[in-house]
Structure 1
Amino acid sequence: MRIGSGMSVGLVGLRAFTIQAQAFISPGLPYFSIIGLPDTSLTESRERVKSACSATGFRWPETRVTVNLSPASMPKHGSTHDLSIAVAVLDAAGAIPPQSFEQVLTLGELNLDGTVLPVAGILPALLHAREQGVRRAFVPYGNREEAQLVPGIETVPVRHLGELIEHVGGRAKYHLSEQSTQSLADTTQITSSASSSKQLDMAQVVGQEATKWALTVAAAGGHHMLMTGPPGTGKTMLASRLPSIMPPLMEKEQLEVASIRSLCGDLQQYGISDVPPFEAPHHTASTAALVGGGSGVAMPGSITRAHCGVLFMDEAPEFSPRALQTLREPLETGRVFLSRSKGTASYPARFQLIMAANPCPCGFGYGTGERCTCSPRERSRYWSRLSGPILDRIDIQVSVPPVSSLLSSSEKPRQTSAQIRSTVTQARSTARARFAKEGWTCNAQASGEWLRKETSIQAISLVNKALEAKRLSLRGADRAMRLAWTLADLDGRTSPTAEDISAGIVMRTRLQ
């Protein structure tokens, strides 16, 4: 009895696990079965694998073929495992030299003619394989650029199952049609940085110096922010330029972001980049689109794609209350857990939330309000969607007034994003050094216990007064102190003063 084997990697969310595919050819009526909790798409691989193997000149056994995917307790999904199943069957039938694929990873989807099609999730799969000591992997030719991003593991891109057989010393008869070759070769190359695209710059925004400063504080400390103002004042322009003043992503963060994009199939568009991601879902987005969803194992939503970056919610009060409430847990924990019938997927979701809103449904309820056509009831209903628990998690609230002039002789030269980023990076470096033992990277992650211990008694007394006056909740008090520490970092002080605490309280409660 000979049992053939192949190796693949499965993903539940971003959690990877090794899959061993074992094939056994036994006497009996012709039948091909796959066991080990496969989903529908993986069960359908029986026909893909059988046809693809026949396309290489392999004579499919006229007996019973059983393939087991272990561990049997873990759900497997997708077409990523087609190649490893084919390898296991070929090994069991003696069509390739024995043990050719021992400790060798094989990933890819098979077409009926034997061509190997690209799949999503190659990057996190290879990163896991490298951690497990795998040093060689066969990947689809269409994923070759993505696979080369993982050092320390030899990747062999293949266009056809026959190429893989020949690569290990087997014999195969196959033909790659001109159309198939062209489709496989026509892939977008992955760049190592997103700097090739046109960069947005803060200098492009006219006026709004107060809001720019608030965004600088938000970027330096990782704080959430709400901008309120009439239409056309530049709220969306300002928010879209926040990534341009944020510190570059560290190597670990770059890999996390790239792994998420690989799982979503977007890595070829962005590549490995140190620019924080920016996600701006439409206000009609469903809860599943925002936090993730789908049948079987849930896929990432906008909050996961914004990990290590910015989630911008324009027209925030127009989002459904249910969608807004789902943000509460990720804002606190930095992760989202999605339970479905076939397992629970956990995704990272540590993002900066930037909200923008009009002062009322018509947008003109500012100043004297003479142009506003909204009734008090309509205004109340509009703002009631942003519940108290959500607003309590917003560190900075700022008004964005209309710009009175396009050109001003007294206007100072506008700061560029590069200049602001330099200030932000210095402040963030100070915070990272301060929190080195705690494992935090910015002030927004500091615990309340640490803040109450390290902040001066004089500064905390101001927070106590705000608590007694009901201007702050206990959560709001911690967030005000975090803002104070960020203001101190920006000004080069080792700890916040009473003035920093006062400014932090004002920035939190300006719109209340």
Structure 2
Amino acid sequence: MVVRCNSFGINGIDGYKVEIEASMQGGLPGFDMVGLPDVAVRESRDRVKSALKNCGFKLPSSHIILNLAPADIKKEGPIYDLPICVALLKLTGQIVTDISDCAFIGELSLGGETRSINGVLPMVIKARECGIKKIFVPAENVSEASVVDGIEVYPVREIVQLKNILNGQESMEPATPKAHNAEHSEGFIPDFSQVKGQFEAKRALEIAAAGGHNILLIGPPGSGKSMLAKRLPSILPDMTFDEMIETTKIHSIAGTLHSDGLVETRPFRSPHHTVTAVGLGGGGTGTIKPGEVSLAHNGVLFLDELPEFSRNVLEVLRQPIEDSQITISRSGQNCTYPCSIMVVAAMNPCPCGYYGDGTNRCTCSDVKIKRYLNRISGPLLDRFDIHVEVPPVKFDELRSSEITESSAEIKKRVDGARKIQRERFKGSSTLCNAKINAEQFEKACIIDKAAEKTLKVAFESLGLTARAYDRVLKVARTIADLEQSEVIRSEHVLEAVQYRSLDRKYWSAT
């Protein structure tokens, strides 16, 4: 006799179906498991046997063979405890109902209680796609799982409860998603109204938010670079439901999901400069996990003290910034994670931090300054659309009682520019100006004659690369969108070019 129980696993960002097959053979009592289980899956037989015994269930008295199909994909983690337990209960006649339209995922304790697991959301989405009607998950994961429409989600606290529900001895209503309030938040909220001075930097951040552009902030210590970067999420457009789902899937797989259900606010990830290439890009020796670049998907990746990062770590960013995805290959594994991000970086202009600020406090030699700045490769520097200087704030600005614009006011303009971009790129995968592809470029970035002449002069005098030329035009397109202009004019190009001139001041000067 063979019984089958549906479950699911994780491959990259998506789930895949796993069928647990249990067969009772003659001979002495035993428990064999096949289907490429890892150590954690193999250990599930001991957890399941202990859970069954401690909950008063009858243990199989014959030799049991368990197969986890498909047999050519490695199964990892403790997520198969619950379906293996259900398969054994079905095999021994302790569950009598039909479970062909049900699926089960979850870890068990030795006492039969369920424990939370990672990656529930992508598995529930895959279950719905496979036609599963009901899915049983650990109670701690029910908020995350219940956001998926079209499938009934049931929370399981322990296996006695599950057996009674399946046999009709106990009734339970499927979970309903919690009501979410995107306006609700607790604690201190960083807002641009709290920033004194730095009008040029705030303007640059507004443009970056409006077009999804990468931005580099350069200035001495204490000028407010980190403070400004941390306020950027407050002016970014609200997440769409699809973005929430995709972002939540990544955080669920990584085990960093702390919210009740969906991730509703754009991620802001700020890894320390000691992060490794694996920590930034993703990977690992066992299961491939998403790195910081993917955990920031649909949000902001903030790299403070940029030159202090290891150069080989920074080079990991070059391809993901361009492609909005990162592919990680390990022995027998290949995973692709999305990483559509805004990269915001902050740095001092020299080791002591005071080169070029006019105070004569810089104590660094030209050689030290050059060595410091050259920690950032030209190709990586070229991938920042906007380079802006953040000078020290003057005393009069700090003491000023003038009320500055709030994040809500700036966000209105950003939302208006993004609305124009959504209409412009309707029907395509492009969501903002920073992601304009080669096919859309000529049609989207229409410039008048004066702007073309200005751009030519800038291209030749600044020695811009082809990539820099594209990025200048994309930034100019965003500036025009903020002004509700269909055509890119000369003043838009001039402002966009200004955000590339710092290369000449710092890197060329050394």
TM range (shorter): over 0.9
TM-score (norm 2): 0.92
Q: Does 1:49 align with 2:38?
A: no
Segment drifting more, 486-495 vs 4-13 = 4-13
Cα drift, residue 254 of structure 1:
0.9
Contact 2:97 2:166 in 1 (8 A): no
Aligned to 1:267, which of 257, 270, 280?
257
Which residue number corresponds to residue 176 of structure 1?
none
Segment drifting more, 145-154 vs 303-312: 145-154
Indicate conservation of the 8 Å contact 1:12/1:297, yes or no.
no
Query: Number of paired residues?
Result: 494
Paired residue for 1:447?
Answer: 437
Q: Point out the more displaced range, 58-67 or 210-219.
A: 58-67
Per the alignment, residue 432 of structure 1 pairs with 422
After TM superposition, give the deviation of residue 289 of structure 1 in Å: 1.1
CA 1:118–1:422 in structure 2 vs 1: closer, same or farther (change >3 Å)? same
In structure 1, stretches of 5+ residues that fail to align are 173-188
Classify the secondary structure of the residue corresponding to 1:76. Answer: coil
The separation in 2 between residues aligned to 1:326 and 1:409, in whole angstroms, is: 43
Distance 1:42 1:407 in 2: 62
1:120 alignment partner in structure 2: 118
1:31 is aligned to 2:20: no
Tell me the distance in 1 between the aligned counterparts of 2:63 and 2:436: 60
Matched letter for residue 488 of structure 2: P
Residues 470, 216 of structure 1: alpha-carbon distance in 2 compared, 3 angstrom cutoff: closer
Matched, 1:370 2:324: no
In the alignment, structure 1 residue 498 sits paired with structure 2 residue 487: no
8 Å CA contact 1:278–1:312 kept in 2: the answer is: yes
CA contact (8 A) 1:6 1:22 kept: yes
Aligned-partner Cα distance in 2 for 1:155–1:452? 48
1:285 aligns with 2:275: yes
Are 1:197 and 2:186 an aligned pair? yes
Deviates more, 1:393-402 or 1:377-386: 377-386
Which of these residues, 135, 138, 162, is aligned with residue 136 of structure 2? 138
Secondary structure of the equivalent of 2:485? Answer: coil
Where 2:499 maps in the other structure, the secondary structure is: helix
Q: Is the 8 A contact 1:190 1:269 kept in 2?
A: no
1:162 alignment partner, one of 143, 160, 163: 160
Q: 1:409 Cα deviation (Å)?
A: 8.6
Q: Give me the whole-angstrom Cα distance separating, in 2, the residues matched to 1:195 and 1:406.
A: 35
Paired residues of 1:297 and 1:340 also in contact (CA < 8 A) = no
The question of 1:251 aligning with 2:214 is answered no
Deviating more after overlay: 6-15 vs 138-147: 138-147
Kindly state the Cα deviation for residue 44 of structure 1 after the two structures are TM-superposed: 1.1
Question: Which one of 345, 352, 361 corresponds to residue 342 of structure 2?
Answer: 352
Q: Is the 8 A contact 1:244 1:275 kept in 2?
A: no
Shift in alpha-carbon separation, 1:285–1:408, aligned structure 2, 3 A: closer
In 1, the alpha carbon distance for the partners of 2:183 and 2:87 equals 40
**1:370 deviation in Å?**
1.8
Shift of the alpha carbon at 1:105? 1.4
Between the aligned partners of 1:152 and 1:39, the Cα distance in structure 2 is 32
For residue 193 of structure 1, report the CA deviation from its aligned partner. Answer: 3.7
Whole-angstrom CA distance in 1 between matches of 2:89 and 2:162: 11
User: What's 2:508 paired with?
Assistant: none
The residue aligned with 2:467 is: 475
- Secondary structure of the residue that 2:356 maps to in structure 1? coil
SS in 1 for 2:196: coil
Cα 1:190–1:116, aligned 2, differ >3 Å: closer, same or farther?
farther
- Do the aligned residues in 2 keep the contact of 1:361 with 1:382 (CA within 8 Å)? yes
Residue 249 of structure 1 deviates from its aligned partner by: 0.6
**1:380 corresponds to which residue?**
370
- Indicate conservation of the 8 Å contact 2:134/2:153, yes or no: yes
Identity %: 39
Give, in whole Å, the separation in 2 of the partners of 1:192 and 1:217. 28
Letter in 2 for 1:336: I
On the 8 A contact 1:245/1:417 being kept in 2, the answer is yes
Aligned equivalent of 2:212: 222
Distance 2:62 2:315 in 1: 56
Q: CA deviation at 1:430?
A: 0.3
Contact kept? 1:190, 1:267, Cα under 8 Å: no
**Alpha-carbon contact 1:283-1:313 (below 8 Å) kept:** yes
SS of 2:395's equivalent in the other structure is coil
Q: For 2:359 and 2:403, locate their aligned partners in 1 and report how far apart those are by CA, in whole Å.
A: 33
Change (3 A) 1:497 1:457: closer
State the alpha-carbon separation in 1 of the partners of residues 455 and 438 from structure 2: 13
Tell me which residue corresponds to 1:83. 82
Which residues in structure 2 correspond to 1:300-319 (within 5 Å)? 300-319=290-309
Contact 1:13 1:297 in 2 (8 A): no
Deviation per CA, 1:210-255: give whole Å up to 9, x if none: 1000000000000000000001111111000100000001110011
Distance 1:135 1:157 in 2: 15
Match of 2:388, SS state, is: strand
**Pairwise CA distance, 1:167:** 1.0
> The residue matched to 2:334 in structure 1 has which SS?
strand
| Consecutive unaligned residues in structure 2, runs of 5 or more | 171-177, 505-510
Report the Cα offset of residue 368 of structure 1: 3.2
Q: Is 1:19 the counterpart of 2:18 in the alignment?
A: yes
Indicate how the Cα distance of structure 1 residues 318 and 219 shifts in structure 2: closer, same or farther if over 3 A, else same.
same
Shift of 1:510: 2.9
Equivalent position amino acid for 2:223 in 1: T
Distance 2:40 2:201 in 1: 50
CA distance in 1, matches of 2:115, 2:224: 44
Q: Separation in 1 of the partners of 2:193 and 2:466?
A: 37
Q: Does residue 1:93 correspond to 2:92, yes or no?
A: yes
Distance 2:322 2:220 in 1: 30
The CA deviation at 1:470 is: 5.4
Aligned-pair distance for 1:171?
8.6
Query: Which letter does structure 2 place at the counterpart of 1:153?
Result: I
2:113, 2:157 within 8 Å by CA — same for their partners in 1?
Answer: yes
CA deviations 1:84-132 (Å, max 9, x no partner) are: 1111122222221152x21211111011111111111112211221222
Cα separation, partners in 2 of 1:171 and 1:47, compared to 1, 3 Å: farther
CA shift, 1:287, in A, is 1.1
Offset at residue 413 of structure 1 (A):
2.5
How many angstroms apart in 2 are the aligned matches of 1:371 and 1:467? 34
Residue 417 (structure 1) shift: 0.5
User: TM-score if structure 1 supplies the norm length?
Assistant: 0.92
Contact 1:95 1:170 in 2 (8 A): no
In structure 1, how many angstroms separate the alpha carbons of the residues matched to 2:306 and 2:388? 14
Q: Deviations over 1:255-276 (max 9, x none)?
A: 1111122222232347424321
Shift, 1:456, TM fit: 3.1
